[in-house]
């Protein structure tokens, strides 16, 4: 029987994918503000591993990147895109009997909220362009809807996710929880699924992606958003999520080491609260890129993550511009384990 391993994000990586903002995305009126954020992420990734940029116009992105555009670790693939959220339209990598496999799940704009016809084609177009390693296989998992931001793996057979997202309308609502779990176990070779039934962020379009709420940092450690302000609208839901996390056990039967991250300061636009969260960090080779929001809490979040990742550099990236389209740092990037990208 084949053995499938779904590596954790801290597994050695071959590349990170960014899908670049352009004038035909919702970023059009804010490109001057958001492109520097993407460039900062790009620069930090290229210090440590290959960066794959998907965009419709390579020359334009090179112009925007300036001096770092000639970095030897930078790879471009030109194609049309709807948006920029590579975490959710990017391929999801596993190893089957040691061979890398990239799953191409259906991406339908977070339950058909937004256009996604071009973004849903990106993984197969990357495959056709020879982006993946020769030995890597690409497997079509459509019509099952699954976004990378909705799942967290510890690399040892445990998946952390939210019931709110995976069973939501226009995703996989035709499957009940038990059926969803069977599918996930089959896809990813899992021993178990830990379901969070509580937790949300105001302004979140993803129906409570787990990468906005709680994240594996190693097999025994989970960092999560903690709300201690009884006046905050999130208080009861995030307190209930914290109790769920306290009740979870590792595969060895021990409580998880829980590292609380501060609830980000309230950020609003046109009277709407935006989903600022420190849980939306990106693990790359040798570092953790952490979203910052020009707040005193940035330092507190960085210190908390340093305890979770003592051997990695914690690098803050100003992600306040990303909140304008209801996302943050981890949402912009899809990592590929070692052996997946050429």
pLDDT in tens, 151-166: 999 999 999 999 999 9
Band (267; pLDDT cuts 50, 70, 90)? very high
- pLDDT, tens digit, 9 for 90 and up, residues 57-116: 999 999 999 999 988 999 999 999 999 999 999 999 999 999 999 999 999 999 999 999
User: How many Cα atoms are found within 13 Å in the side-chain-facing hemisphere of 324?
Assistant: 19
The reported pTM is 0.97
Across-strand partners of 298? none
Q: What is the mean pLDDT of residues 250-254?
A: 97
- Give the mean model confidence (pLDDT) for residues 248-258: 97
So what's the pLDDT on residue 2?
87
pLDDT at 197 over 90: yes
Cα separation, 71 vs 219, in Å, equals 34
- Opening angle at CA 114, ends 184 and 323, nearest 5: 90
Over its C-alpha atoms, the chain yields an Rg (Å, rounded) of 19
127 in Cβ contact with 89 (< 8 Å): no
> Is 336:75 a contact under the CB 8 Å cutoff?
no
Neighbours of 12 (CB within 10 A): 11
Query: What confidence category does residue 244 fall into, taking pLDDT thresholds of 50, 70 and 90?
Result: very high
Which residue, 16, 48, 9, is CA-closest to 218?
9
**70-74, 207-211, 216-220: least confidently modelled range:** 70-74
Q: pLDDT tens digits, residue range 1-41? A: 789 999 999 999 999 999 999 999 999 999 999 999 999 99
DSSP letter assigned to residue 155: S
Query: Average pLDDT in the 307-323 region?
Result: 98
Q: What percent of the chain has pLDDT over 90?
A: 98
Is 272 a residue whose pLDDT tops 90? yes
Determine the pLDDT at residue 39: 98
Query: What percent of the chain is modeled with pLDDT above 70?
Result: 100
Average pLDDT, the chain: 97
Give the Å distances, CA to CA, from 260 to 35, 116, 125, 240, 301. 31, 34, 39, 14, 9
Q: Is 73 exposed, middle or buried (0-12, 13-18, 19+ CB in 10 A)?
A: middle
Confidence of residue 190 (pLDDT cuts 50, 70, 90): very high
């Amino acid at each position: 029987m084949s053995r499938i391993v779904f590596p954790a994000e801290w597994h050695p990586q071959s590349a990170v994918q960014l899908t670049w903002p352009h004038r035909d995305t919702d970023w059009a009126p804010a490109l001057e503000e958001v492109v520097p954020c993407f460039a900062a992420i790009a620069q930090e990734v290229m210090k440590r591993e290959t960066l794959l940029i998907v965009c419709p116009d390579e020359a334009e992105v090179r112009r925007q990147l300036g001096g770092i555009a000639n970095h030897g670790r930078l790879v471009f693939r030109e194609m049309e895109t709807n948006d920029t959220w590579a975490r959710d339209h990017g391929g999801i990598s596993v190893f089957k009997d040691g061979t890398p496999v990239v799953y191409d799940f259906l991406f339908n704009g977070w339950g058909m909220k937004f256009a996604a016809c071009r973004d849903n084609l990106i993984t197969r177009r990357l495959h056709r362009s020879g982006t993946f390693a020769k030995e890597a296989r690409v497997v079509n998992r459509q019509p099952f809807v699954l976004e990378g931001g909705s799942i967290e793996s510890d690399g040892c057979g445990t998946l952390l996710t939210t019931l709110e997202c995976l069973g939501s309308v226009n995703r996989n609502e035709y499957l009940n929880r038990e059926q969803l779990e069977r599918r996930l176990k089959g896809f990813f070779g899992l021993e178990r699924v830990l379901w969070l039934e509580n937790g949300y962020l105001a302004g979140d379009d993803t129906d409570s992606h787990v990468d906005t709420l709680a994240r594996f940092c190693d097999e025994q450690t989970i960092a999560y958003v903690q709300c201690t302000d009884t006046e905050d609208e999130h208080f009861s839901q995030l307190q209930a999520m914290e109790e769920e996390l306290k009740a979870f056990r590792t595969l060895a039967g021990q409580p998880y080491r829980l590292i609380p991250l501060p609830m980000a300061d309230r950020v609003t636009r046109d009277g709407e609260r935006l989903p600022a969260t420190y849980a939306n960090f990106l693990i790359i080779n040798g570092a953790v890129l952490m979203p910052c929001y020009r707040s005193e809490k940035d330092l507190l979040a960085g210190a908390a993550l340093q305890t979770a990742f003592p051997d990695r550099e914690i690098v803050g990236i100003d992600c306040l511009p990303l909140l304008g389209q209801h996302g943050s740092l981890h949402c912009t990037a899809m990592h590929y384990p070692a052996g997946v990208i050429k």
